[in-house]
Amino acid sequence: MSPATLRGRPRPHLIFMHTEKTGGSSIECATQGQDMVLHGLFTNMGHAQEVRVEQCKAQCVHSGVAPRTLISIRDPYSFWRSVYTYNRGVVRTEKNFEGFMRDVADEAADEDSWPQSSHIRRACGKPCSADYFLHTENLGAEWLNLLRDLELPLVALPYINGSPPRPGHTVFTREVVDIIHRIDADMFSEFGYRKRADVPFELTSSKHIDPVWV
């Protein structure tokens, strides 16, 4: 653990839980590249299960100060567009977006399936017990605000595009939107994302414009 202090007390260790397709690779890259991990300020848990996170939290208490946890989350519509474009690039599926989402809905009962809310529940329970939530759509700004609050060096995030270049069209039809509202209901009820009523619609990019990303 780092001996550095924050406002006269030992600095809390930070533990990051990476939710798939939410920009977490940028955080991992920034913290490792700037030696925040090496210096004992930060632990990247990756796609971890809650039991492992709790074990890490128990080991990362120092001088009576408990660690703080953070997790990245994403607007559910943008999340599913990113999942689809990534799937097209890796698996080379030729299904359209609606057909892909029907398949996702059929597998949604599996705890290891694709919904973002399942990934979050895996890492931090329900409701999620994280101390900080970083939203992909404002990731760079929220990350810098967190560093300022904890009086850490202001390390900007690199932009890492994990989706291969086979985007396809992602028209959010009524059926697609209903599936998302059903299988990722927690993203709206627990995390406050607003449901869109202007159906159908299409997102033109899986990358939110965030000028703080570099």
User: Does 211 map to a domain?
Assistant: no
Domain that holds residue 150: 5-202
In a domain, 207, yes or no: no
Q: What is the pLDDT of residues 6-37, one digit of tens each?
A: 556 677 899 999 999 999 999 999 998 767 88
What's the number of domains the chain is made of? 1
Q: Is residue 179 part of a domain?
A: yes
| Residue located via tokens 């627990």 | 190
Find the CATH number of the domain harbouring 30. Answer: 3.40.50
Query: Is residue 210 in a domain?
Result: no
Partnered with residue 68 across adjacent β-strands are 14
pLDDT tens digits for range 129-174: 999 999 999 999 999 999 998 888 888 898 766 555 555 678 999 9
Q: Which tokens hold the place of 183? A: 């299988």
In a domain, residue 212? The reply is: no
Please indicate, yes or no, if residue 27 is contained in any of the structural domains. yes
What is the helix (H) or strand (E) element at residue 21, kind and residue range? none
Residue 66 lies in a domain: yes
- 55 pLDDT higher than 60: yes
Q: How far apart are CA 70 and CA 99, in angstroms?
A: 34
Contacts of 213 (CB under 8 A, 6+ apart): 26, 139, 140, 156, 157, 158, 159
pTM of the model: 0.85
What is the structure's pLDDT at 11?
78
Residue type, 213: W
Tokens of 118: 């399942």
Average pLDDT of the residues in 93-97: 79
Instruction: Look at residue 208 and tell me if it is in a domain.
Output: no
Does residue 73 contact residue 116 with C-beta atoms inside 8 Å? yes
Higher pLDDT, 151 or 52: 52
